[in-house]
Amino acid sequence: MIFLKLGGSLITIKDTPETVRLKTLARLAGEIAEARRTQPDLTVVIGHGSGSFGHTAAARHRTHEGASTPEEWIGFAEVWRSANRLNRIVADALAEAGLPIVSFPPSASVLARQGVIMEMAHEPLSRALQAGLIPLVQGDVAFDSVRGACIVSTEEVFTWLSPRLKPGRILLAGAEPGVFSDFPENRSLIDEITQEALAGGKLAGSAAVDVTGGMAAKVRAALAWAAADPGVEIRIFSGEDPGQLRDALLGGRPGTQVVWHDRTD
């Protein structure tokens, strides 16, 4: 079982509202399909970021802070439409590559509290996997029992699904080759990042609009996955290099590995 995220900065132009990198998306879809042809029993859950779609609308309406007024709920609906437009484009690109994609938008299945997922209908997703289909999840709006509304990232969806589906590998494909120790000043690529490296280094958010926290949030989420299941392999790498996503799906080890070091012994 592999969880794969296609980052928003990889499949969209993040500083240009609602702009998809169609050629890149088509290539990535083809690489996933090629990996499945090479290894027919490959089981994958795919997620994607919102990039210049949901993030831009959410920042404008501040949906990540909640919703209570009629205007804020109209903003919630606008963010949903924007995120859904990208989700349909991604689903269509994957389907055109021959992948049996079924979309599971969090807005239809998640209930959060203070921005944290408390409930998610994961059984339909499990049944899709049993049927040989590929579930597609995404960063999305969600209803929140305290704030009214919130934004949930693909990483947060993976956090909910991980103990239930127990992936052996989690692959986060973005625009960068991996995690840099001092981005953007130094750009020194880290082969392995641990909780100690995160505490001692400088990891900033994204330079473009990202209401879910950019690279720092991705690393923190990955460290939480590693702490919960030390056996899972987690890698952050670039999907920009042709063939690298395919190779990663087939067991390659690109980019930065995220590892939790248990110091209790």
CA–CA dist 147, 49 (Å, integer): 22
pLDDT digits (tens, 9 = 90+) for 18-55: 999 999 999 999 999 999 999 999 999 999 998 888 77
Write down the pLDDT at residue 126.
96
Q: What is the mean pLDDT of the chain?
A: 89
pLDDT of residue 199: 60
Q: Are 43 and 2 in contact (CB under 8 A)?
A: yes
**Is residue 2 within 8 Å of 171, Cβ to Cβ?**
yes
pTM, 2 dp: 0.90
Percent of the chain with pLDDT over 70: 89
Arithmetic mean of pLDDT, 198-207: 54
Q: How much is the pLDDT for 209?
A: 39
Closest of 61, 7, 18 to residue 235, by C-alpha: 7
| Residue 136 to residue 151: CA distance in whole angstroms | 17
Block residue for tokens 């958010």? 205
Look at residues 191, 207, 158 and name the one whose alpha carbon lies nearest to residue 49: 158
Please tell me the predicted confidence (pLDDT) of residue 182.
63
Contacts of 136 (CB under 8 A, 6+ apart): 46, 47, 48, 87, 90, 91, 94, 101, 102, 103, 104
* Closest to 179 in 3D by CA, of 236, 249, 254: 236
Residue 210 has pLDDT above 70, yes or no: no
pLDDT band at residue 192 under the 50/70/90 scheme = confident
Whether cis (ω within 30° of 0) applies to the bond prior to 177 is no
Q: Is the pLDDT of residue 147 over 80?
A: yes
Provide the pLDDT confidence category of residue 98 given band limits of 50, 70 and 90: very high
Higher-confidence residue of 86 and 215: namely 86
Q: Enter the DSSP assignment of 21.
A: -
pLDDT band at 265 (very low <50, low <70, confident <90, very high): very low
pLDDT band at 119 (very low <50, low <70, confident <90, very high): very high
Average pLDDT over residues 69-74: 94
Q: Which of 136, 140, 120, 115 is nearest to 58 (CA)?
A: 140
Task: Say how many Å lie between the first and final Cα of the chain, rounded.
Answer: 30
Contacts of 190 (CB under 8 A, 6+ apart): 178, 179, 180, 181, 197, 256
